C-alpha cells in the first residue's frame, strides 16, 4: 500500500509541475483555468500590475508570475502589465480541471534577449587590455570559427585581383568596434611570388580599413583573417601587423 501511495504522489508532482506554453502575438489569449483551485500564469518579465473587471477573479502577483483563482462558471478578463510597459490581455475560461500552470512566451522579448546576449558575447570577444590584445582575440576567434553565432554577416563572396593572386572574400562580419574579413588566396601561377600580410593589407585597404591581419596555410590553401575598423584612434605608434601574426601562431 505504501508503494502505491508513493507512485500516486509522484504522478501528481509530475502533472502539477508541467507547464503549458502559450505564444503571445499581440492578441488576447484564451486560457482554460481551474475553477476549483489556484492557477499559475508565468510572464516573460516581472509583473507590475494585474487587473480584471470580474469581481470573482482573484489575482496575486509573485515576481513574474500571477496566481489566479476564479471560482466561477463565467469567463473573466485579465490585463497584466510588466516592468517594461508590455501589456498582456487574457480571457480566462473556468472549468472543472486540475491546476493550470501556463508560461506566456513573447517572441519579441525572446528575440531582444537573444540580440542582447549576442552583443555581450561580441564585446567579450573584442575585449582586451590594449589594442594589440583586442586584435589577437578577434583573429583567434575568427580562426577558431567562433563568429557565426554572434557576429552579423554583412556580405558573402567578393573577389579582388592583384598581378599574381585572386583574393576571395568569403565572409564579412560586423561586430561592436571591429569588423572581420575571412578569405582565401589563389595564386595565378605556381611560381607566384609569396604574398605577405603587409601586401595583402594594402590590397584590402582599397575597400576596408585594415587593423590586423594574418595568413595561414590550411589544406594546402592560403586562408586569411583580417580585422577591420572604421577609425584608428587607438593604434599605437609602434604597431606592426607582423606582431599580430607572431602572437596568433605562437598561441593558437
For 113-171, the pLDDT digits (tens) are: 888 998 999 999 999 888 889 999 999 999 999 998 888 888 767 888 888 899 999 99
pLDDT at 18: 54
Q: Determine which of 64-73, 101-110, 231-240 has the lowest per-residue pLDDT on average.
A: 231-240
Residue 252 has pLDDT above 80, yes or no: no
pLDDT at 63: 96
Beta strand pairing call for 87-95 and 29-34: parallel
Model pTM? 0.61
Assess whether 103 and 52 both reside in one domain. yes
Assess whether 95 and 174 both reside in one domain. no
Number of domain units in the chain: 2
Residue recorded with cell 587607438: 234
Assess whether 138 and 89 both reside in one domain. no
Assess whether 71 and 162 both reside in one domain. no
pLDDT tens profile 14-36: 344 457 899 998 889 999 999 99
Assess whether 91 and 205 both reside in one domain. no
Residue 235 has pLDDT above 50, yes or no: no
Q: Which runs of E-coded beta strand occur in the chain?
A: 20-24, 29-34, 39-42, 47-51, 58-62, 65-69, 76-82, 87-95, 101-106, 152-161, 165-174, 179-187, 210-218, 221-228
pLDDT at 65: 96
Assess whether 142 and 214 both reside in one domain. yes
Assess whether 133 and 156 both reside in one domain. yes
User: Angle, nearest 10°, between helix axes 131-143 and 107-125?
Assistant: 120
Amino acid at each position: 500500500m505504501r508503494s502505491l501511495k508513493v507512485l500516486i504522489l509522484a504522478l501528481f508532482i509530475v502533472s502539477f509541475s508541467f507547464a503549458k506554453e502559450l505564444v503571445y502575438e499581440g492578441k488576447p489569449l484564451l486560457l482554460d483555468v481551474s475553477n476549483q483551485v489556484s492557477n499559475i500564469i508565468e510572464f516573460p518579465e516581472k509583473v507590475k500590475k494585474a487587473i480584471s473587471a470580474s469581481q470573482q477573479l482573484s489575482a496575486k502577483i509573485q515576481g513574474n508570475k500571477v496566481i489566479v483563482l476564479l471560482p466561477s462558471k463565467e469567463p473573466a478578463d485579465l490585463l497584466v502589465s510588466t516592468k517594461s510597459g508590455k501589456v498582456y490581455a487574457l480571457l480566462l475560461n473556468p472549468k472543472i480541471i486540475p491546476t493550470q500552470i501556463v508560461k506566456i512566451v513573447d517572441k519579441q522579448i525572446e528575440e531582444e534577449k537573444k540580440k542582447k546576449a549576442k552583443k555581450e558575447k561580441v564585446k567579450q570577444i573584442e575585449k582586451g587590455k590594449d589594442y594589440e590584445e583586442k586584435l589577437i582575440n578577434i583573429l583567434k576567434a575568427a580562426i577558431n570559427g567562433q563568429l557565426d553565432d554572434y557576429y552579423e554577416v554583412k556580405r558573402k563572396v567578393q573577389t579582388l585581383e592583384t598581378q599574381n593572386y585572386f583574393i576571395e572574400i568569403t565572409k564579412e562580419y560586423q561586430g561592436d568596434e571591429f569588423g572581420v574579413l575571412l578569405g582565401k588566396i589563389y595564386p595565378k601561377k605556381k611560381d607566384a611570388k609569396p604574398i605577405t600580410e603587409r601586401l595583402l593589407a594594402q590590397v584590402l585597404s582599397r575597400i576596408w580599413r585594415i587593423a590586423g591581419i594574418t595568413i595561414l596555410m590550411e589544406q594546402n590553401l592560403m586562408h586569411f583573417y583580417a580585422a577591420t575598423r572604421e577609425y584608428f584612434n587607438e593604434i599605437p605608434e609602434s604597431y606592426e601587423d607582423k606582431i599580430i601574426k607572431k602572437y596568433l601562431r605562437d598561441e593558437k
